[in-house]
Amino acid sequence: MDRTCCGSRGGWMKVADIDMTKSNHQCPVGFKLITRTTTPYRACGRPDRLSGCTSTTFATNGARYSRVCGRILGYQIGSPDAFSRQSRGIDSYYIDGISLTHGQSPRKHIWSFAGAVNEGSYFSTSICPCSNNGYRGTVPSFVGNDYFCDSAIRGEGSFSPGLFYPSDPLWDGQGCGATSTCCAFNNPPWFCKQLSQPTTDNIELRICGGSSNSADDSPFEVVELFVN
């Protein structure tokens, strides 16, 4: 009841609490546990597959809510392509990153967490719309401004397929270089979403990618979600 989010204190119900820095926390069923000998030690990614989304659902237990707030911290593997596949629509892998939605047929968008290949590249559709180097990706209309976008590679840095980039977590609001304003856009790491109408829907989290997870992925380390 002391939680302050979206500018208001109290009345928030926690529906998701995953922190893989804690040894007693586990990945949701169906997600792949990624372990390392250096920080980050544990994260949750897509299982071995060519493309698509891996999903888990957080129950709201029938609670009626109209606002969602929270944070997700993740990492970059390889060369995710942000919103370059947006034409596939909300029910498919429109994003290389993490999608939060509620409801079904179609899903209703809450927030998107896009991973980009780097901060500024000739792969113009594979970088963040908050890049300021002259090349900008675009976002689907159903996403609007409700997203975070980040990359662990500064400037137009090169990338290696399948390489884990641990030094700069995604969507934490820190570490942006001179070619990006993404650390300021929507003030990550915490998001706040006012829904168009109240609902009791459960909340779905999906990690999506258009390539094999051995080439690129956006595994998460922390997921915290609240409804009000």
pLDDT value at residue 209: 92
- The number of distinct structural domains making up the chain is 1
pLDDT in tens, the chain (228 residues): 677 788 888 789 999 999 999 999 999 999 999 998 888 889 999 998 778 999 999 999 999 999 999 999 999 999 898 998 877 899 999 999 999 999 998 899 999 999 998 887 656 678 888 877 655 667 899 999 999 999 998 876 677 878 899 989 999 999 888 778 899 999 999 999 999 999 999 999 999 998 877 778 999 999 999 999
The pLDDT assigned to 123 comes to 60
Strands (E), the chain: 4-5, 8-9, 13-19, 32-35, 42-45, 52-58, 65-77, 97-102, 108-115, 147-150, 164-170, 191-199, 203-209, 220-227
Residues 6+ apart with CB under 8 A from 61: none
- Whole-number Å distance between alpha carbons of 89 and 189: 25
Q: What is the structure's pLDDT at 160? A: 81
Tell me if 177 sits within 8 A of 155, measured CB to CB: yes
Say how far residue 98 (Cα) sits from the centre of its chain.
3
Quote the pLDDT of residue 27.
Answer: 97
| DSSP annotation string for 134-170 | S------TTTTT-EEEE-SS-TT----TT-EEEEEEE
Residues 70/190, Cβ–Cβ less than 8 Å: yes
Distance CA 96, CA 86 (A): 10
Of 92, 108, 66, the C-alpha closest to 100 is 108
Predicted TM-score (pTM) of the model is 0.93
Residue 8, domain extent = 4-227
Phi-psi region of 48 (alpha: psi -120 to 50; beta: other; left: phi over 0): beta
119 contacts 179 by C-beta, under 8 angstroms: yes
Using only the alpha carbons of the chain, give its radius of gyration. Answer: 16
Give the C-alpha separation, 147 to 110, whole Å.
9
Query: 71: which residues sit within 8 A by CB, 6+ positions away?
Result: 171, 188, 189, 190, 191, 222, 223, 224
